[in-house]
Amino acid sequence: MYEVQQLRINYKTLEEFKQFKQYGLQELSMLEELNAQISENEIHSPFYGIYIGNRLVARMSLYRQSKKHDHYFKPHQPYLEVWKLEVLQEFQSKGLGTRLIEYAKSFNLPIKTNPRVHSNQFWTKMGFVPAAYDLERDLGENPMLWCPEGVSTSK
Amino acid sequence: MYEVQQLRINYKTLEEFKQFKQYGLQELSMLEELNAQISENEIHSPFYGIYIGNRLVARMSLYRQSKKHDHYFKPHQPYLEVWKLEVLQEFQSKGLGTRLIEYAKSFNLPIKTNPRVHSNQFWTKMGFVPAAYDLERDLGENPMLWCPEGVSTSK
């Protein structure tokens, strides 16, 4: 069973992040923080990942939103936002993505994600359902939602 | 000069939307509204596009956010959110994307977008700058911002 762990943000991790397609402003901002002399491993990071040997091969970001920001679930409550779920190509089809999402589900909070194009099949398999599109809330997003027992989507 | 027009949402437009890569829940939701007997051309749509002959070859969504939702600009003010900017492949490199963004700028409001991966060069050319990444606000986004005269980014 692959172990999911919260990632320590240091130069090694940030270098490994460059292997992932969804590298962006978030990673650049952490690099700036490190360069500004914040000690390694002390940056607050929402990243979780799976190592095989010494190598980071899968990752996701996981962030707890407050009840105040919930426009997706009924009753309104805190929920988890997942983004940048990605498995390096040569490590795909081993269940690593599934393992990360099972980890996210283990908090027993509802989950919202905005999947990349062409990944809907994966999210459906994981029990996520498309949100009822709301222009003002969703704009360019295609939200997919997962509800633990006793929770439903807000419309 | 290519003319930008707000799109009428009817079965022809929704069929043309399928040619664009960023087809998603937003379009499916408009199709449902049409199927539910709302008259053609009466759906409120944030889509603008360019026709060449009778064919829709470029489009974007453009939505005015209220001052209350502004966490990007100084002073806080209403701004435009742009998404799903896309030019059909065979019509690229003709300046159609530029024309659409010039149209968006003509409202003289600040603009925020969350560009697709690998499109940063275009946005930079159009005068957009990366936002200072803020975890709670931006999550998985890589916001790029454009400011009219007298406006700056909020940090």
CATH of the domain at A8: 3.40.630.30
* Cα–Cα distance, B150 to B138 (Å, whole number): 24
Picking from B23, B95, B111, the residue whose alpha carbon sits closest to that of residue B63 is B111
Terminal C-alpha separation, chain B:
37
| B-contacting residues in A 33-62 (Cβ below 8 Å) | 44, 46, 61
Rounded-to-integer distance, Cα B26 and Cα B23, Å = 8
Q: What pLDDT was estimated at residue A1?
A: 77
Q: Is the bond into A130 cis (omega within 30 degrees of 0)?
A: no
In the predicted structure, residue B42 carries a pLDDT above the cut 80: no
Mean pLDDT of B6-30: 94
Domain coverage including residue A118: 4-153
Residue A24 pLDDT grade (very low, low, confident, very high; cuts 50, 70, 90): very high
B132 touches chain A (CB under 8 A): yes
A95-104, B34-43, B69-78, B127-136 — which is least confidently predicted? B34-43
Within 10 angstroms of residue A89's Cβ, the number of other Cβ atoms is 10
Residue at A31: amino acid letter: L
Do B97 and B122 meet the contact criterion of CB atoms below 8 Å apart?
yes
Q: What is the pLDDT of residue A118?
A: 80
- Tokens linked to A119: 């990944």
Asked if the Cβ–Cβ distance from B135 to A63 is below 8 Å, we say yes
pLDDT digits (tens, 9 = 90+) for B66-121: 999 999 999 999 999 999 999 999 999 999 999 999 999 999 999 999 998 788 89
> Rounded CA gap, B110 and B72, in Å?
9
Question: For residue A116, how far is the Cα from the chain centroid?
Answer: 12
DSSP 3-state of B59: strand
pLDDT given for residue B43 in this prediction: 77
Task: Provide the pLDDT confidence category of residue A39 given band limits of 50, 70 and 90.
Answer: confident
pLDDT at A129 over 80: yes
Amino acid residing at B28:
L
- Are B25 and A133 within 8 A, CB to CB? yes
Query: What was the pLDDT predicted at B38?
Result: 76
- Whether residue A133 and residue B61 make contact (CB cut-off 8 A), yes or no, is no
The partner residue sitting opposite B133, judged by closest CB among A26, A81, A135, is A26
Does the distance separating the beta carbons of B117 and A22 come in below 8 Å?
yes
pLDDT at A136 over 80: yes
What integer pLDDT is reported at residue A95 of this predicted model? Answer: 96
In contact, A133 and A145? CB cutoff 8 Å: no
Q: Which helix (H) or strand (E) holds A103?
A: helix A96-105
Instruction: Give the Å distances, CA to CA, from B40 to A116, B48, B110.
Output: 30, 17, 32
The confidence score (pLDDT) of residue B37 equals 79
Average the pLDDT over B41-65 and give the result: 93
Distance from CA of A133 to the nearest CA of B (A): 6
What residue type is B90 in one-letter code? E
In the predicted structure, residue B40 carries a pLDDT above the cut 90: no
Task: Please report the number of interchain residue pairs, chain A to chain B, with beta-carbon separation below 8 angstroms.
Answer: 66
Counting residues of chain A whose pLDDT is more than 70, the rounded percentage is 100
SS3 category, B11: helix
Token pair 């490994």 is found at A16
Contacts of A149 (CB under 8 A, 6+ apart): none
Q: Which residue would you say has higher pLDDT here, B26 or B40?
A: B26
Q: One-letter amino acid identity for A54?
A: N
pLDDT for the residue B111: 98
Q: What is the pLDDT of residues B104-118, one digit of tens each?
A: 999 999 999 999 878
- Nearest by CB to residue B142, choosing from A25, A46, A139, is A25
* Mutation site for A-interface testing, chosen from B43, B133, B136, B145 by largest number of A Cβ within 10 Å: B133
Whether A154 shows a pLDDT value over 80: the answer reads yes
**DSSP one-letter code for A95:** S
Angle, CA A28 vertex, CA B139 and CA B109 arms, to 5°: 60
For chain B, how many structural domains are there in total?
Answer: 1
What is the pLDDT of chain A when averaged over all its residues? Answer: 94
